[in-house]
Amino acid sequence: MTDTMTAEQRHRCMSHIRSKGTKPELKVRRWLWSNGYRYRLNVKSVPGKPDIVMRPYRTAIFVNGCFWHGHEGCCKIPQTNRDFWQAKIRRNRERDAANYRILRENGWQVIVIWECQLTAEHLETTMREVEMLLNSNLLSIYKRHTTLPYPTDEPEALPMAAEE
């Protein structure tokens, strides 16, 4: 996931003006679904109303539009009404940060996916990274609940195969 921005990305940052093509959140949902992941949408009982909730993974996923949520170094703020946009985006970012904090304090893992990471070119890589995060979240839940020794924690505690 890179923070350098192409002209194409810069263009898409203005998608708050006219939305075209598949909504970013839908791209994520489709990928998850077709790769066998199940989820819930906009669960109101979970703080911050994440876009996608994966309860078994104790994970909340937010799919953020780069412009509205102020993706750092990604979108340019329009010159016209600059103060207005700056204040608005700052408020959105503060609200996002507060939501993520509440979730984490309640034992949720938070995954933020940016719109610019979901272009045809980047989608697969992004979602494979998301998949790794999901699995690592699942593993940390498993580690908390299992009474079995967890192999990578104490490899020396594992019985060694007898030498021939």
Question: Smallest Cα–Cα separation from 130: which of 57, 65, 73?
Answer: 57
Of 14-22, 70-78, 130-138, 149-157: span binding Zn ion (CB under 5 A) = 70-78
Determine the Cα–Cα distance for residues 98 and 95; give it in Å rounded to an integer.
5
From the list 39, 71, 113, 127, which residue makes contact with Zn ion (rule: CB under 5 A)? 71
28 sits near Zn ion (criterion: CB under 5 A): no
Question: In this complex, which beta carbon is closest to Zn ion, that of residue 37 or of residue 85?
Answer: 85
Binding region for Zn ion (CB under 5 A) out of 37-45, 62-70, 130-138, 154-162: 62-70
Other Cβ atoms less than 10 A from the Cβ of 3: the count is: 10
As a whole number of angstroms, the distance between CA 31 and CA 8 comes to: 22
Minimum distance from residue 12 beta carbon to Zn ion (Å): 8
In whole angstroms, what is the distance from residue 54 CA to residue 64 CA? 17
Task: Give the number of other Cβ atoms within 10 Å of residue 76's Cβ.
Answer: 12
Does 74 help bind Zn ion (rule: CB under 5 A)? yes
Nearer to Zn ion, 47 or 116 (CB): 116
Question: Measured from the CB of residue 27, what is the shortest distance to Zn ion in angstroms?
Answer: 14
Does residue 31 belong to the site contacting Zn ion (CB under 5 A)?
no
Residue 113 near Zn ion by CB under 5 A = no
Q: Tell me if 116 contacts Zn ion by CB under 5 A.
A: yes
Task: Output the 3-class SS for 78-96.
Answer: CCCCHHHHHHHHHHHHHHH
Q: Using CB under 5 A as the criterion, which residues of the chain lie in contact with Zn ion when the complex forms?
A: 66, 71, 74, 114, 116
